[in-house]
Amino acid sequence: MLQALGGPVPPNTDHKKKAVSVSLPTWKAIVGYEEGDDWVMNRMLCGYPRFFVHPIIQKLAQEIVRRHGDSESESAMVFPSRKTALVCHSFFLSRVPNDSSKVRVVDFVPSSRTEAESPAVTSHLSCVIYPKEHGPIAKQVWQHSGNGVSSRRAEFCLSSLEDRFLVEEKRVGTADAASQRPCKGPRRYQGRGSSNGLTRGTGVHGVTPDQFSAVNGAQDGQEYGQFIEERFGRNLSISLADQARSAVRRRIAGVLTADVELSEALEKASAEGRVAGLTESDVYLFPSGMSSIFNTHQLLMAARGSLKSVCFGFPYIDTLKILEKWGPGCLFYGHGSSEDLDDLESRLSNGERYLALFTELPGNPLLKTPNLKRIRALAERYDFAVVVDETVGNFLNINVLPYADIVVSSLTKIFSGDSNVMGGSAVLNPHGRFYQTLKETFDQEYEDTLWAEDAVFLERNSRDFVSRIEKINKTTEDITAILKESPLVKEVYYPKYSPSRPFYEDFRTPNGGYGGLFSVTFNSTADAAAFFDDLEVLKGPSLGTNFTLSCPYTILAHYGELEWASSFGIESSLVRISVGLEDIPDLRSRIHQALEAVGKIRA
C-alpha cells in the first residue's frame, strides 16, 4: 500500500486545488524532504499548504509579477486582503529596512463590469512583491500567519485576472503607512469591507465603479455569470456560502449535526453545550487554524496592549514562532509542568505582567494535558487572558471553554476530516473576564477572509463529524492498547495513558473519548524506521483525517532543531499516528504487521 512519493493525500484528490497533505511514504523520503534533496522535491505535486506554496498559487503570483514587477528579480506572496498583505509588508520592513522601497503591495478588485453584471460573487486580492533574495522572509509570514490565499481562491482569481474580471485597484487620494513609502507603480486606493469572496450591493469594498479603470469587452460576449458557472460548476452553489459560514459557526457553538435544526441545537447548547449563552456571534472563522491563532494574538494586543505572552507546554511549532516574532515576545515553558506553573506564579507575584497564556489541550505530539484549572485561577488573580488550542482534543471530547477566554481550533483537522480544505475558528467565552473588550475589538477589527468555496466544503464535510469522532475514539483506544502491550514499543503517548490524565478528565465531556491522535517511540531509530516504513497507512503531514495518517513527527516538524526538541522529551524517533475510520480488525492487522517488521530487524 505504498503510495507514490509526492502525490496528494488522500489519493485521487485533485492536487491542483484540494489536497491538504502529501505522500512522504518512507523514513528516507521524510529526511530527503527536510534536506531538500532533488529526488524528493522534484516529485512534490503538492504539500501542506502553509509549508508548500501550491503550484496554482505560484502561478498566480508569477502572473502578477509578470504584469506588475520584474520576473527576473522579483517574487510575490498573495493574500486575500490588503490588511493581511500589510502584515507581510510590515514584517519585511522590520527585517530588511534598507530595502523598504523594493517591497510593495499591489491590490486587485473586481472590475466595474464585473460588479454590474454579477454583484453576488466578487473577490479582492492583494499581493506583496519583493526581491527574490528575500524569499525566506516571505515564507515565514506565509507559514506562521496562515493568512495566505487558498488554492481554490487562487484558481478563481487567476482565471478572473486572465479574463479581465479582476483589475488593479487604483488609488484616488487616500494614504496609509504603506502607500507613503516609495513604491513602484501608481498609488493605490485602499478599499474597505469584507474580503470573504461574497460582496453584495453597488460598489466594491466601499469604492464606486467609476473609481476603477474601464475594462473593454472582457471576453467578447461572455458575462460574469457564465464565468462563475464555468469556474465553480453546477454542483456547487457558491451563493450558499454565507449560509455555509453560518452553519459552521452554529455547529461549533451548538454542536450542530446535519439532522438537527439550527434553533434546536442552539437551545441545547445554552443548557448543555460548551457554555450557557454561547451563540454563533461568538464564533469567528479564519482561512486556517494557524490564522485563527495568529489573528487572536493580534487582536488580543489590540484589545489589551502590547505585552509579552506565555506559551505553556510544548506547542505546535508555529504557535511559538508567532508569539516570538510578532509583538514583544513570550515566556516559553516547554515542559508544561507544575514546576513551570510555580515559576510563572512567582514571576506574576513579583509584578511581571502578561498579555495571555497560550496552551494546547492536549499537547502535540506528547498528548500531555496542562493543569488548566490552576492556569485559570492564576489568570483571574493576575489579569491575563487564556487561549486554548483544542484542535487535538476537539470540542466533542473535551469542554475547555469555561476555563478559557478564547478557544482556537484548526477546522482543517477532524472537523472537516476529508483533508481537502483549510479552515480555523476562534470562540469567545461569553462569561470570560475580558469578553466585552474582546468582543468589541473582534467585531471592529476582525476580517472574514475565508474563501466562499472553502466555506461550502467545510460545511459539507463537517455534517457527520459527531459519528466520525465516536468511531475514531473507539478505534484509537483499541490500537493504543495493542501498542502499549508490545515489548517492542518503548512508550505510547495518549491522554488515556498519560500521567496528566487527571487533568484531561477534568474537561472530558460525558460521552467524550481520548481522541484519535497518539505517538509511539521505540528503542532505536532503526526500530522506528522499520515500523513506519512497514505500516500500511497513508503517510504525510496533518492529522484528524478520515483515513489513518502517520509521520515521524519530530523529523518532519523539528529537523533543524532536534536537540532542542529532545530537551523537552520529544525524541527524534517518535512516530505520530492519527487514526481514521478504518475498521478495527483491519487497522489491528496493519499495526501487527509493522510490529513484526521491528521484530525482524532485532532478530
CATH number of the domain at 554, please.
Answer: 3.90.1150.10
Residue 195 lies in a domain: no
Mean pLDDT of 396-411: 95
**Burial classification of residue 290, based on how many CB atoms lie within 10 Å of its CB (0-12 exposed, 13-18 middle, 19 or more buried):** buried
Same domain, 243 and 349: yes
Determine the structural domain holding residue 70 and report its residue range. 48-168
The per-residue pLDDT for range 424-469, each reduced to its tens digit, is 999 999 999 999 999 999 999 999 999 888 998 899 999 988 899 9
- The verdict on 381 and 502 lying in the same domain is no
Same domain as 489, residue 436: no
The predicted structure's pLDDT at residue 112: 64
Average pLDDT, the chain: 83
Q: In this predicted model, which residue has the larger pLDDT, 22 or 336?
A: 336
Contact between residue 131 and residue 102 where contact means Cβ atoms under 8 Å apart: yes
**Cell numbers that stand for 601 in this block:** 530487524
Look at residue 200 and tell me if it is in a domain.
no
Using H for helix, E for strand and C for coil, what is the string for 546-569? CCCEEECHHHHHHHHHHHHHHCCC
Phi/psi region, residue 23 (left: phi>0; alpha: psi -120 to 50; beta: rest), is: beta
475 and 361 share one domain? no
Query: 142 with 251, same domain?
Result: no
More confident residue, 9 or 572: 572
The DSSP bridge pattern shows strands 406-410 and 385-389 to be parallel
User: For residue 207, what is the DSSP state?
Assistant: B
Task: Tell whether 108 and 158 lie within a shared domain.
Answer: yes
Q: Could you say which of 435, 462, 489 is where a domain stops?
A: 462
- The pLDDT assigned to 411 comes to 95
In a domain? residue 42: no
Q: Is residue 58 part of a domain?
A: yes
Q: Which of 168, 197, 224 marks a domain boundary?
A: 168
**Which residues pair with residue 130 across a beta bridge?**
75
Those residues whose C-beta lies under 8 Å from the C-beta of residue 513, and which sit 6 or more positions away, are 397, 469, 470, 473, 474, 476, 477
Hey, how many other C-beta atoms are within 10 angstroms of the C-beta on 321?
Answer: 19
Rounded-to-5 percentages of helix, strand, coil across the chain: 45, 15, 40
CATH number at residue 410: 3.40.640.10
pLDDT value of position 234? 45
- What is the Cα–Cα distance from 48 to 445, expressed in whole angstroms? 28
Q: Do both 510 and 367 map to the same domain?
A: no
Is residue 255 a part of any domain in this protein?
yes
Query: How much is the pLDDT for 226?
Result: 55
Least confident of 54-68, 88-102, 436-450: 88-102
Q: Is residue 507 part of a domain?
A: yes
Mean pLDDT lowest for which of 127-131, 240-244, 548-552?
A: 240-244
Per the DSSP assignment, residues forming a β-bridge with 358 are 311, 387
484/489 Cα distance (integer angstroms): 7
Assess whether 275 and 384 both reside in one domain.
Answer: yes
Nearest to residue 492, comparing CAs of 563, 562, 579, 412? 579
Helix (H) or strand (E) holding 392: none
pLDDT band at 172; cut points 50, 70, 90: low
Better-scored residue on pLDDT, 252 or 232: 252
Find the helix packing angle between 289-304 and 135-145, rounded to 10°: 90
Average pLDDT over residues 87-95: 91
Whether residue 385 is found in the same domain as residue 437: yes
> Residues 507, 375: one domain?
no
Grid cell locating 304: 489589551
Say if residue 275 is in the same domain as residue 393.
yes
Look at the block and give the residue holding cell 514499543.
489
Examine the fold and report which residue of 447, 462, 477 is the final residue of a domain before the chain moves on: 462
589 and 517 within one domain = yes
Any domain includes 79: yes
Looking at the domain assignment, is residue 402 inside a domain?
yes
Q: Mean pLDDT check: name the lowest of 88-102, 182-196, 301-315, 371-385.
A: 182-196
**How many structural domains is the chain composed of?**
3
